């Protein structure tokens, strides 16, 4: 986050009104120098300057907010929250401090509180770009793709060169069942930012959805390497490779994914898919049953379990697996079982 450097007009107002309730010029200067030191990563010196500013004016919001950023840079989250909360108590309309408080709360794994802080920042200043960006990414991470997309569109109008935000928008398009829009946006981003891993993942998934498995595998390989999205890309790549008939490679990917987290329903679903591709009914059934146990609300898990049971010849178990469920996949499966 950027240090809080008060605008020139506000500074002039504070210095001129430095008598009753104004901020001494020395406090403003120490805060300004501290902000420069903070931007340079010189945390101890920055902290000293902010504390000097507060000696002149203890209720000066900006140095408190900047001390919160010093604490955040050090990983001292409770201290960062304390300083930023004090800053917004002293100046309730301090939009940037509200946005930075949201960052701290998000790192403390308090997404609802973080969202409220970001929204407070935007209610004060709709042009608080960092708060809007942070809110959009938080919403996308929580699966709130409609809301995330709306914020990303507004943010990118003002910050069109943000590749990460553009990739997140492509991801939202994909998850909102707009594969053509997702593919188009991801391809345009990759033309100017070839290393944008989210765009690679999105384009790979979009290509897989339309059946272009060779091109999908190419993108997913790139997305899987050296990226925080690597796990997601490997999940998709395992499925694509199984569909391409490259079952041994798909199994290798699945084995590694299971080793990392066998209690992830998505991993179990992919493992079941790969087992079905190799016509290993027993293995497919085991993984599908595990996926159903982990996430009983996932219709895809029930469908895979039914297909695994059908592959082994247990049609009654196959019908029971999708009993009471609805959807195109379920109806198609029932029709095949009743033939």
Q: Is the Cβ–Cβ distance between 211 and 187 less than 8 Å?
A: no
- pLDDT at residue 20 above 50? no
Hunting for tokens 């069109």 — which residue is that? 160
Average pLDDT for 94-112: 96
Can you list the pairs that 160-166 forms with residues at least 24 positions away whose Cβ atoms lie under 8 Å? 162/133, 163/189, 163/192, 163/193, 163/196, 163/199, 164/137, 164/196, 164/198, 165/133, 165/136, 165/137, 166/196, 166/199
Average pLDDT, the chain: 90
| Confidence class for position 333, pLDDT limits 50, 70, 90 | confident
What is the model's pTM? 0.80
> Where in the sequence of the chain do the CATH 1.25.40.10 domains occur?
1-114+131-136, 163-244
Q: How sure is the predictor about 13, in pLDDT bands with cuts at 50, 70 and 90?
A: very low
| Per-residue pLDDT, 304 | 92
Q: How confident is the model at residue 1 (pLDDT cuts 50, 70, 90)?
A: low
Integer Cα distance of 22 and 19 in angstroms:
5
Per-residue pLDDT, 19: 32
Can you read off the two tokens belonging to residue 138?
């938080």
In this structure, how many other beta carbons lie within 10 angstroms of the beta carbon of residue 88? 24
Binning pLDDT at 50, 70 and 90, where does residue 17 land?
Answer: very low
Whole-number pLDDT of residue 6: 43
Given this model, what pLDDT does residue 10 score?
33
Question: Rounded CA gap, 130 and 298, in Å?
Answer: 35
Q: Is the pLDDT of residue 319 over 80?
A: yes
Tokens encoding 175: 């998850």
Q: Of 107-111, 197-201, 212-216, 334-338, where does mean pLDDT reach its minimum? A: 334-338
CATH architecture, range 261-339: Alpha Horseshoe (1.25)
DSSP class of residue 7 equals -
- At residue 18, the pLDDT reads 36
Report the C-alpha gap between 269 and 286 in whole angstroms.
10
CATH of region 163-244: 1.25.40.10
Q: Tell which residue, 133, 105, 130, has the closest CA to residue 117.
A: 105
Interatomic CA distance for residues 47 and 338, integer angstroms: 73
How far, in Å, CA of 38 to CA of 133, rounded?
A: 22
Share of the chain above pLDDT 90, in %: 79
**Six-digit token string for 321:** 């697996």
236, pLDDT greater than 60: yes
pLDDT over threshold 70, residue 187: yes
> Looking at the predicted structure, is the pLDDT value of residue 9 above 70?
no
Per-residue model confidence as pLDDT tens digits over 241-293:
999 999 999 999 999 999 999 999 999 999 999 999 989 999 999 999 999 99
- Rounded average pLDDT over 153-167: 94
**CATH number assigned to the domain with residue range 1-114+131-136, chosen from the 4 options 1.10.357.10, 1.20.1440.230, 3.20.20.70, 1.25.40.10:** 1.25.40.10
């Amino acid at each position: 986050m950027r240090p809080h450097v008060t605008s020139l007009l506000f500074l002039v107002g504070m210095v001129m009104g430095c008598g009753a309730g104004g901020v001494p010029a020395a406090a403003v200067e120490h805060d300004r120098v501290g902000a420069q030191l903070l931007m340079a990563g010189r945390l101890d010196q920055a902290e000293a300057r902010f504390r000097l500013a507060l000696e002149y004016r203890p209720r000066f919001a900006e140095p408190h907010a900047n001390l919160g950023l010093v604490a955040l840079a050090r990983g001292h989250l409770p201290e960062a929250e304390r300083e930023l909360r004090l800053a917004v108590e002293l100046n309730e309309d301090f939009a940037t401090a509200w946005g930075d408080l949201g960052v701290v709360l998000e790192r403390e794994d308090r997404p609802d509180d973080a969202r409220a802080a970001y929204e407070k920042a935007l209610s004060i200043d709709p042009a608080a770009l960092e708060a809007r960006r942070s809110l959009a990414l938080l919403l996308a991470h929580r699966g709130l793709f409609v809301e995330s997309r709306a914020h990303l569109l507004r943010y990118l109008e003002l910050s069109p060169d943000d590749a990460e935000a553009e990739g997140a928008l492509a991801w939202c398009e994909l998850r909102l069942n707009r594969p053509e829009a997702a593919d188009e946006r991801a391809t345009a981003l990759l033309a100017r930012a070839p290393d944008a891993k989210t765009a690679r993942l999105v384009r790979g998934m979009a290509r897989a959805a339309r059946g272009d498995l060779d091109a999908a595998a190419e993108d997913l390989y790139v997305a899987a390497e050296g990226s925080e999205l690597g796990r997601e890309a490997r999940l998709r790549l395992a499925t694509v490779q199984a569909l391409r008939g490259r079952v041994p490679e798909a199994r290798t990917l699945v084995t590694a994914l299971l080793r990392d987290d066998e209690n992830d329903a998505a991993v179990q679903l992919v493992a079941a898919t790969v087992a079905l591709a190799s016509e290993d009914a027993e293995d497919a059934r085991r993984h599908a049953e595990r996926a159903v146990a982990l996430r009983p609300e996932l219709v895809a898990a029930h469908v895979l379990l039914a297909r695994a049971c059908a592959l082994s010849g247990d049609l009654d178990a196959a019908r029971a697996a999708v009993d009471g469920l609805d959807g195109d996949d379920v109806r198609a499966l029932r029709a095949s079982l009743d033939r």
